[in-house]
A = this chain, B = another copy of it.
Amino acid sequence: MGKAKSGYYIGFDLGGTKMRALVVDEEFRIVASAKRKAVAGVDTAAEGLDRMRACVDEALEEATVSPKDLRGIGFGLPGALDLKQGVILRLFNVGWENVPVKKKFETIYGAPVAIDNDVNAGAYGEYRFGAGRGHPYMVGIFVGTGIGGGLIIDGKIHQGVGGAVGEIGHLLYDRLGPRCGCGARGCYETYASRLAVASQAAVQAYLGKAPALAKKAGYDVEKYRSGTLAWAIENGDAAVEEIVRESARIVGHLACDLALVLCPSMIVLGGGMVEAMPKIYLEECKAALKAHPVIATMKGVAVSAVKLGDDAVPLGAAAIAADKVRNEK
């Protein structure tokens, strides 16, 4: 490869429990990575940005790549964002406002910075390099503490006019249902997220119907991580399996809604719950799509679990940065 073609990108994931930086080459092969604890508990945005910088520096050092060989840096970020300005408008879990990510990192490294929300970056990563490869009309559904989505339309991340994006967890599932955290009634998220499953499983545990779960984690929904629920099922808690399976059926309904609106060729399922229990989610989601008479008239919608794990967000972010560099040339 000639000198003119060589160059590297940083892909960065600012997650809820950890942050992670990848150095990738122009073919998006991972050259090095570094991680740090997340910024929860850090007092100021300036300290948070410093920790992110240290993480990037470590990855560059590990890769023996000089900042002058960086073509671009992409960030997958939580919170409310201004994509154009490259600013985190509000980072909810720590309360920071107007964090100038783009300005800070462009100044330090002299390379263009692109940001997007973490769900979009993850969906784009799966589209470019993972389960959605070759599917320019793809829907990503991520089932974790909440339910979020990322849409790929004509090979690009769908942003709409901006503001809230990917709020698919708040589509209506049951008009008579309980209040969601968002304030509306009967959102899919109130029925099928990890928190919804955990709260139902806690009742079963308390009633003595989920002994493995009760022994492992008591009745505390905070301790019911996705892996804990998977472990309880493996250890014989049929009641927990039925609750998870119902969550998966409901995610199947959501997949149908999205297929009806968007007519994609691929639905990629991810998030903690799916990664811990992929078989249940894939089975129920495929069954729901297959059973829907209108979707049966479509050209066929495949369903897959994510393939990239923790690399989806930073790889997607790196690709977003590369697209931006290419478009601005």
**Interface secondary structure of A, over-half rule:** loop
The yes or no answer to A292 lying at the interface (CB within 8 A) is yes
A182 to B295, CA, bound (A): 10
Q: What's the Cα separation between A164 and B292 when bound, in Å?
A: 12
* A203 located at the interface, meaning its Cβ lies under 8 Å from any Cβ of chain B in the complex: no
Query: Provided the pairs A163-B297, A164-B298 are in contact, do residues A151 and B261 lie with their beta carbons within 8 angstroms?
Result: yes
Query: Which of A168, A182, A261, A265 has the largest count of B CB atoms less than 10 A from its CB?
Result: A261
A295: chain B residues within 8 A (beta carbon)? 164
Q: Which residues of B contact A170 (CB under 8 A)?
A: 260, 292, 294
A221 within 8 A of B: no
Assuming the A-B contacts A153-B158, A183-B293, are A164 and B263 also in contact, with contact meaning beta carbons closer than 8 angstroms in the complex? yes
Contact B172 A262 (CB under 8 A): no
Which of the candidate stretches A27-35, A250-258, A277-285 sits at the interface with the other chain? A250-258
Counting CB contacts under 8 A, is A173 at the interface?
yes
Q: Is the CB of A261 within 8 A of B299?
A: no
Question: Which residue of chain B lies nearest to A297 when distances are taken between CB atoms in the complex?
Answer: B164
Q: Which residue of B lies closest to A160 (CB)?
A: B263
Question: Does residue A50 face the partner (Cβ distance < 8 Å to B)?
Answer: no
Which residues of chain B have C-beta atoms less than 8 A from A256's C-beta? Answer: 172
Chain B residues with Cβ under 8 A from A171's Cβ?
171, 257, 260-261
Contact between chains at B293 and A161 (CB < 8 Å):
no
Q: Does A175 belong to the interface (CB within 8 Å)?
A: yes
Inter-subunit contact A162/B299 (CB<8 Å): yes
Q: Is A234 an interface residue (CB 8 A)?
A: no
Q: A173 touches which one: B154, B168, B175 (CB < 8 A)?
A: B175
Contact of A62 with B by CB under 8 A: no
By a CB distance below 8 angstroms, the chain B residues around A158 are 153, 262-263
Chain A interface residues toward B at CB < 8 A: 80, 137, 149, 151, 153-154, 156, 158-165, 167-168, 170-175, 182-184, 253, 256-258, 260-265, 292-295, 297-300
20 pairs, CB–CB < 8 Å, chain A vs chain B: A80-B297, A151-B261, A153-B153, A158-B262, A161-B263, A161-B298, A161-B299, A163-B300, A164-B295, A167-B260, A171-B257, A172-B172, A174-B175, A182-B293, A182-B294, A183-B293, A184-B293, A184-B294, A257-B257, A261-B261
Closest 8 CB pairs between A and B?
A: A160-B263, A183-B293, A163-B298, A163-B299, A161-B265, A167-B260, A170-B294, A171-B257
A-B contacts besides A154-B156, A163-B299, A261-B262, 19 pairs, CB < 8 Å: A80-B297, A137-B161, A151-B261, A160-B262, A163-B263, A163-B297, A164-B298, A168-B261, A170-B292, A170-B294, A171-B171, A171-B261, A172-B173, A172-B256, A183-B293, A184-B294, A257-B257, A258-B261, A261-B261
